[in-house]
Homo-oligomer: A and B are copies of this chain.
Amino acid sequence: MNDTLENQSQDTLEAHLAQVQTLLGRMRLVEELVHKQGGPRQDLVENLVHKQNLSELRRKLEQLHPADIAYILEALPLDERRLVWDLVGAENDGEILLEVSDSVRESLISTMDKAELLAAAESLDTDEIADIAADLPQDVIQELLTTLDVQKRARLQSALSYPEDSVGALMDFEMVTIRADVTIEVALRYLRRLGELPDQLDKLFVVDEDALIGVLPLKRLLTTDPEASVAAVMVEDFVRFHPEDEAHEASQAFERYDLVMAPVVDARGRLIGRLTVDAVVDYIRESADADMLSMAGLKEEEDLFSTVWNAAKNRWMWLAINLATAFIASRVIGAFEGSIEKLAALAALMPIIAGIGGNSGNQTITLIIRGLALGHITPANARRLVVKELGVATLNGVVWGSVVGVFAWLLYDNPALGGVMALAMLLNLLVAALAGIFIPMTLERVKRDPAIGSSVLLTFVTDSMGFFIFLGLATLLLL
Could you give, for residues 10-30 of chain A, a 1 whenever the CB lies within 8 Å of some chain B CB and a 0 otherwise? 110110011001000100000
B10 and A311 within 8 A (CB): no
A7-B252 contact in complex given A337-B344, A392-B311, C-beta closer than 8 Å: no
By the criterion of a CB under 8 Å from any partner CB, how many residues of chain A are at the interface?
152
Tallying the copies of this chain within the complex gives 2
Contact of A68 among B5, B77, B256 (CB under 8 A): B256
Residue of B nearest to A199 (CB): B258
User: How far, in Å, is A133 (CB) from chain B's closest CB?
Assistant: 21
Is A345 an interface residue when CB atoms closer than 8 A count as contact?
A: yes
Is A37 an interface residue when CB atoms closer than 8 A count as contact?
A: no
Residue of B nearest to A248 (CB): B10
Contact of A25 among B14, B297, B354, B380 (CB under 8 A): B380
* Interface hits, A373-392 → B, CB 8 Å: 374-378, 380-381, 384-385, 388, 391-392
Distance in angstroms between the alpha carbons of A128 and B117 in the assembled complex? 48
User: How far, in Å, is A99 (CB) from chain B's closest CB?
Assistant: 7
Distance in angstroms between the alpha carbons of A345 and B201 in the assembled complex? 68
Residues from chain B with Cβ under 8 Å of A254 in the complex: 281
Residue of B nearest to A222 (CB): B191
A5-B333 contact in complex given A202-B260, A297-B363, A375-B14, C-beta closer than 8 Å: no
Is A266 an interface residue when CB atoms closer than 8 A count as contact?
A: no
Distance in angstroms between the alpha carbons of A259 and B385 in the assembled complex? 40
Is A137 an interface residue when CB atoms closer than 8 A count as contact?
A: no
Top 3 A-B residue pairs of the complex, sorted by shortest distance between their CB atoms: A296-B366, A288-B288, A347-B347
A5 and B277 within 8 A (CB): no
B337 and A348 within 8 A (CB): yes
B257 and A1 within 8 A (CB): yes
A3 and B238 within 8 A (CB): yes
User: How far, in Å, is A248 (CB) from chain B's closest CB?
Assistant: 8
B308 and A330 within 8 A (CB): no
A196-B219 contact in complex given A21-B381, A77-B381, A260-B202, C-beta closer than 8 Å: yes
A312-B3 contact in complex given A10-B249, A348-B334, C-beta closer than 8 Å: no
Residue of B nearest to A355 (CB): B326
Contact of A7 among B224, B240, B308 (CB under 8 A): B240
A223-B196 contact in complex given A341-B341, A385-B304, C-beta closer than 8 Å: yes
Is A173 an interface residue when CB atoms closer than 8 A count as contact?
A: no
Contact of A278 among B77, B258, B291, B330 (CB under 8 A): B258
Contact of A388 among B2, B6, B25, B311 (CB under 8 A): B311
A356 and B296 within 8 A (CB): no
Distance in angstroms between the alpha carbons of A235 and B319 in the assembled complex? 53
Contact of A352 among B249, B323, B366 (CB under 8 A): B323
User: How far, in Å, is A380 (CB) from chain B's closest CB?
Assistant: 4
Residues from chain B with Cβ under 8 Å of A281 in the complex: 254-255, 277, 280-281, 284
Residue of B nearest to A276 (CB): B258
Distance in angstroms between the alpha carbons of A199 and B365 in the assembled complex? 38
Distance in angstroms between the alpha carbons of A366 and B315 in the assembled complex? 12
Is A76 an interface residue when CB atoms closer than 8 A count as contact?
A: yes
Residue of B nearest to A196 (CB): B223
Distance in angstroms between the alpha carbons of A420 and B411 in the assembled complex? 29
Residues from chain B with Cβ under 8 Å of A457 in the complex: none
Residues from chain B with Cβ under 8 Å of A123 in the complex: none
* Interface hits, A174-192 → B, CB 8 Å: 188, 191-192
Residues from chain B with Cβ under 8 Å of A304 in the complex: 367, 371, 376-377, 385
Is A59 an interface residue when CB atoms closer than 8 A count as contact?
A: no
Could you give, for residues 228-265 of chain A, a 1 whenever the CB lies within 8 Å of some chain B CB and a 0 otherwise? 00000001011111000110011011111111100000
